[in-house]
Amino acid sequence: MAVILLAAAATSDAQTAPAERSDVAIVLEIQQLLIPNRQVDDPVLRDKMLLKDLRKIPALMATFESKHAASRHRPLAWSLAVNALALRRRIGDPTVTTDAIIQAAKTLVASSTQARYQAQGRLVILEVTADEALALALKTPTTATASSRPAATQAARVRYKKMAGAYAGQFVRFADRYGKTTFAPPALYNAGSMYLEAGRENDAVAAFDRLSRDYAKDPLALQALMVLVQLHARAGRADKALAAKRRCVQNFENSSAATKYRADIAQAECLGKPFFLRFRSVRGRKFDVCDHRKKTVLVYFYALVSEEGLTERVTGTMADLGQLAQQTGCVLVAVGADEKTRTKKVAAILDAAKIDTTNLLDPEGKVATQYGVLFVPAVAVVAPGGKLKAIVTHADIVPAVRKALGAAASRPASRPASRPATAPAK
């Protein structure tokens, strides 16, 4: 809407004062220079072209200040100029100094009393100042001797953590003050990140949680939820990690994180509940998991057995799992989701690999989806009694399954040896 209004104003100004570039025309040109060329596929070349355009903006701002210092569009012009400097630094322009960014941000703050411009300028000043101070805090004095460097380094780390915590508090206070602007979410994200740097995990969780709840649809809320999932999982807070995943799925349903979390949620909801599986295998055998309630059952989910180069990987994993099942007294069955594969072909592949594992074809992935298995390889561990104990997903699946079995596996005659898985301002 702002661009449309400015364009209309530029047209009007051009009719009344064609000899002089209007304030609106300059602002529109700056806006255009901030837009990268989407038709260029190479990101490196695109950044080079963008940087070339961004470097034209200071001259435009100089013209604006000399000709239109009293313009009502001055705050917008300086807002764009600050964005341009921040973008140049992000791209890696060595000519952009901290002082230049701070000075531009201060000019923006002085140019208007509107909350959005005040918030943008003050947030940029706080971000740049914090980055500069924290970078200096980690530096060891060049005068330190070799023997005193460890002590100097330790002192620098203590100083860094203390400073990070202090700046995190400033970002929280900023969010308190400018909570109704679009700059509160990046402030809270910065606060959470710096609290982590300071070793204050509880405060970090509070900042990320506040961001994800108070600004539920902001893109940074997705990042905050992903961090919360990691922090809660690492601390053993499985229920809170699961709650964060549910909020992610609810608020960012089309994100890649939500896709993964849907599987995690489905698996969590199935754990501890009866596992149902009854079918006729590719060799015509009948299988019902209920017939093996006295043993642990391993259900190996795989896909793409017919694809060139992957057949040996799938059959190799199946053979290794078969050996593990034999060693631990478990029962192994396999479920394959491959729309291109036919029963006779899979049977022939298993025969060629000398694998006798009971095998079900599930081309639509109904069984896998029922238990939240969206990624393969995966193994469902069904404990004696028929309840799902775990679903293991890991690139190196066999050692991961061995570790997950634990006491759930039926005791073998002899135990086998184990074998070795900051946000920019808007």
Query: Could you give phi then psi for residue 375, rounded to 5 degrees?
Result: -130, 140
∠ at Cα 396 (392, 397), nearest 5°? 35
User: Does residue 142 form part of some domain?
Assistant: no
Q: What is the DSSP string of 325-373?
A: HHHHT-EEEEEEE-TT--HHHHHHHHHHTT---EEEE-TT-HHHHHTT-
74: domain range? 1-112
Pairing of strands 378-382, 388-393: antiparallel
Q: List per-residue pLDDT tens for the chain, 426 residues long.
A: 444 334 434 434 444 444 478 999 999 999 999 998 888 889 999 999 999 999 999 999 999 999 999 999 999 999 999 999 999 999 999 999 999 999 999 999 999 999 999 999 999 999 999 999 998 887 766 555 565 556 668 888 888 999 999 999 999 999 999 999 999 999 999 999 999 999 999 999 999 999 999 999 999 999 999 999 999 999 999 899 999 999 999 999 999 999 889 888 888 888 888 888 888 877 778 888 888 889 999 999 887 655 566 677 888 888 899 899 988 899 998 888 765 666 777 777 777 778 788 888 887 778 888 888 877 888 999 989 889 988 888 878 898 898 888 745 544 433 333 323 333 343
User: Does residue 152 form part of some domain?
Assistant: no
The verdict on pTM exceeding 0.75 is no
User: Does residue 67 form part of some domain?
Assistant: yes
Of 64, 86, 112, which residue sits at a domain end?
A: 112
User: Does residue 89 form part of some domain?
Assistant: yes
Question: Which whole-number Å values give the CA distances from 314 to 26, 232, 281, in the listed order?
Answer: 62, 34, 17
Query: Which residue reads 């070799």 in tokens?
Result: 146
User: Does residue 209 form part of some domain?
Assistant: no
User: Does residue 290 form part of some domain?
Assistant: yes
Of 85, 112, 139, which residue sits at a domain end?
A: 112
Of 95, 112, 129, which residue sits at a domain end?
A: 112
CATH code, 379: 3.40.30.10
Number of domains in the chain: 2
User: Does residue 236 form part of some domain?
Assistant: no
User: Does residue 304 form part of some domain?
Assistant: yes
